[in-house]
Amino acid sequence: MIMIVMSIAGVDPSAGAGVFADLKTFQAIGVYGTGIVTALTAQNPYRFFSTQPVSKEYISEQIDSVMDSYEVEFIKTGMLYSPEIIKLVSRKIRKYDLKAVVDPVMVATSGGDLTREDLADALNRYLLPNAILATPNVSEAEKLTGFKISTKEDAIKATENIKCDSLITGGHLDGFNTINIDGETSIVKQELIDTDNLHGTGCNLSAAITAYLAKDNDLHDSILKALDYVYEGIKNGNYGTLIAKL
Ligand code: PXL
């Protein structure tokens, strides 16, 4: 039986990030992806033009319409744009008893602002307490915790202050990924790849974790496999659709 997962995120029409990228990752790993759109963006990997958010009523209707016909257990969230949308998504997670991997997206790799205002407070207050994992990069983890993160020791301390299990990605920390599951920390070192093509890698990572969870891997194994998946993707030119470890 194929497992059904859900991405709740923005649309990047160049499809390297956002819902379209998530769907490709889901497909590559062998789960059926559904996609709820929180906002449209006009962008490419190099330039961000603008954002058009979807109303929270319509996001709610999209989620309900998928949940009405599909059994979904694992979801990921990406660009949520506003505190109102964050609150709505937290309510849906509780209503449908969803296990959510949260990519606490605030700014695009291209530098575009994906949010209307500072979302850290709403993420901390509403979404992370209802999530099974958050996957911030260093700057997102700094915004969530208020800590400055310059070393892996700082990252370990930051994970202890994130309001759910977490993975702080190591792209800006010499390749040291910091995982905290149930208060236990582990560090996974990856080599940094010399590239300027990293658009959407955070989206692909949280989508891959969600897909591996749906395929019955535990949280730690899902993270390790997803880190591998994204690493191989970056090494192969970040195409988005790759040969995945099933
Ligand atoms: O990678 C962050 C991100 C998330 N969601 C959307 C994006 C981006 C980055 O560009 O466009 C829709």
Output the residue whose Cα is nearest ligand 1's atom 10. 108
Q: Supply the angle between the helices 83-95 and 56-69 in degrees, to the nearest 10.
A: 20
How many A from CA of 17 to the centre of ligand 1? 5
What pLDDT is recorded for position 241?
43
How many A from CA of 2 to the centre of ligand 1? 27
Domains delineated in the chain = 4-241 (3.40.1190.20)
Question: What DSSP character marks residue 162?
Answer: S
CB of 78 closer than 6 A to ligand 1? yes
As given in the structure block, the two tokens for residue 62 are 């999209």
Kindly state the helix (H) or strand (E) to which residue 187 belongs, with its residue range: strand 184-189
The pTM of this model reads: 0.94
d(CA 189, CA 98) in angstroms, rounded, equals 30
Counting Cα atoms < 13 Å in the Cβ hemisphere of 26 gives 23
Angle at 10 between CA 95 and CA 105, to 5 degrees: 85
Question: What DSSP character marks residue 11?
Answer: E
Question: 11, 12, 25, 37: which to mutate for ligand 1, most atoms within 8 A of CB?
Answer: 12
CB of 41 closer than 6 A to ligand 1? yes
How many A from CA of 107 to the centre of ligand 1? 8
What pLDDT is recorded for position 236?
83
Q: Which atom of ligand 1 is nearest to the CA of 110?
A: 10
What pLDDT is recorded for position 85?
96
What pLDDT is recorded for position 15?
92
Question: 10 Å Cβ neighbour count for 163?
Answer: 16
Q: What is the pLDDT along the chain (246 residues), one digit of tens a residue?
A: 999 999 999 999 999 999 999 999 999 999 999 999 999 999 988 889 999 999 999 999 999 999 999 999 999 999 999 999 999 999 999 999 999 999 999 865 555 666 666 799 999 999 999 999 999 999 999 999 999 999 999 999 999 999 999 999 999 999 999 999 999 999 999 999 998 888 899 999 999 999 999 999 999 999 999 999 999 999 887 655 444 455
How many A from CA of 139 to the centre of ligand 1? 15
Q: Which atom of ligand 1 is nearest to the CA of 79?
A: 5
Output the residue whose Cα is nearest ligand 1's atom 8. 108
Output the residue whose Cα is nearest ligand 1's atom 5. 18
